[in-house]
Amino acid sequence: MEPNLFRIATRGLAQDAFFTWLLQWADDTHKKRDQEISKVAKSFVRLLIGKGKSTSVRQVEVRKQWQHIDMCVEVDNKYFIVIDDKMNTGGPSEEPEDVGLKAKDYAEEKGLELVSIYLQTGNESQTRNTQIEEKGHTIVNRKAIIELLSSYTGDNEIFREFKDYLDEIEHQTNQFSASGKITSDKRIAEGFFLELQNHMKEWYDWKYVSNRSGGYLGFWYFWKTLAYLGKQLYIQIDNNYLTGKVELTIRINNTNWNKKVPTTVLQQIFTEIRPLGERHGLTLRKPLQFRAGNTALLLMIDDVFHIDKDGRLDFDRFMDSLKRLENLIDAYCESRRVRSYPMRRPVE
């Protein structure tokens, strides 16, 4: 694998710098210096404002970190584009409300159309993408950017290396079905969750979760409320790709988030639910130690991530295990004669 600048400079500022550099080439004053880059840069601006090839792009002014926004672009005295540039999961930057108001006020003062862009080169859950769009952002994702950059026919090294870098992310993300490396490669692990979300019929989410141990990718869904306890059971997948460990778990939280789930409740529910494991063809394992918390680990399910003889994750077999786990939770709720309620989407 040959050296690549963007594989080394992996922080967001390097990506900001590339897109700022590319957008500057969209201005007509640079057209004669490199017509191929200028052509792609103008197409990039059209992609951001949602216009076709017939729309001319002549005057482009780019600013970095105006009012703490990653990039702002003024186009032909018609558009004011604000860009939130993201490399990894997490959603839009939580900027103060007055920042958005200042961008809106500036556009209105100048008589410009405000365009809010979420530039996404990493992987994000569809649930979070929906939330992003509901906040008024237009998502421009990695596939769209790769398609744009693929139109370049020149030999600029910076341009080529960034395109190669995005191609590499796309390839790794799509490797989960051809590789058992979901526990050793972050992109492959994200690809696994991206495929998993396509099979969800109710609310779910997944993202990177930071903690003292270095963090992990978490996927959670299938909330069921135990009204008599004021608690919720839910399914969570913990993928700690840094240590090569992935687990399918059932967790529990309080419907009142200000109260911790006591260890006595965890022990009680585990004792009651364990016999159902064998009936549903699942091996349930108790944690080494129950820990009280607003959310707490109830149990783990063993032997559900199978790698076939060709080194591929047996996805169909895993989905079968998930379905059996859903049935187990439903059976437990029924055995307690407690109605199950789908979880409402949390307010963020």
Ramachandran quadrant class, 206 (left: phi over 0; alpha: psi -120 to 50; beta: rest): beta
Look at residue 309 in the predicted model and tell me its pLDDT: 77
* CA pair distance 7, 161, nearest whole angstrom: 9
Mean pLDDT computed over every residue of the chain: 89
What average pLDDT does this structure show over 120-142? Answer: 93
pLDDT the model gives residue 97: 53
Which is higher by pLDDT, 2 or 301?
A: 301
- pLDDT category, 196, cuts 50, 70, 90? very high
Portion of the chain with pLDDT greater than 70, in percent: 92
Q: What is the pLDDT of residue 99?
A: 60
State residue 72's pLDDT score. Answer: 96
Q: Which residue has the tokens 């309080």?
A: 254
pLDDT average, residue stretch 121-141: 93
In this prediction, residue 92 carries a pLDDT of 56
Q: Give the integer Cα–Cα distance in Å for 41 and 37.
A: 6
Q: How far apart are alpha carbons 281 and 131 in whole angstroms?
A: 37
Q: What pTM did the predictor assign?
A: 0.87
C-alpha Rg value of the chain to the nearest Å? 24
CA 268 centroid distance within chain: 35
**What residues form DSSP beta bridges with 296?**
252
- Say yes or no to pLDDT of 320 above 60: yes
Band of pLDDT at residue 143, cut at 50, 70 and 90: very high
Among the ranges given (220-224, 253-257, 322-326), the one the predictor scored with the smallest mean pLDDT: 253-257
pLDDT, residue 94, reads: 53
Give 264: exposed, middle or buried? Use CB within 10 Å, 0-12, 13-18, 19+.
exposed
pLDDT score of 222 more than 70: yes
| Whole-number pLDDT of residue 93 | 54
Q: Is a pLDDT exceeding 80 seen at residue 253?
A: yes
pLDDT higher than threshold 90 for residue 308: no
pLDDT band at 1; cut points 50, 70, 90:
confident
What is the percentage of the chain residues whose pLDDT exceeds 90? 67
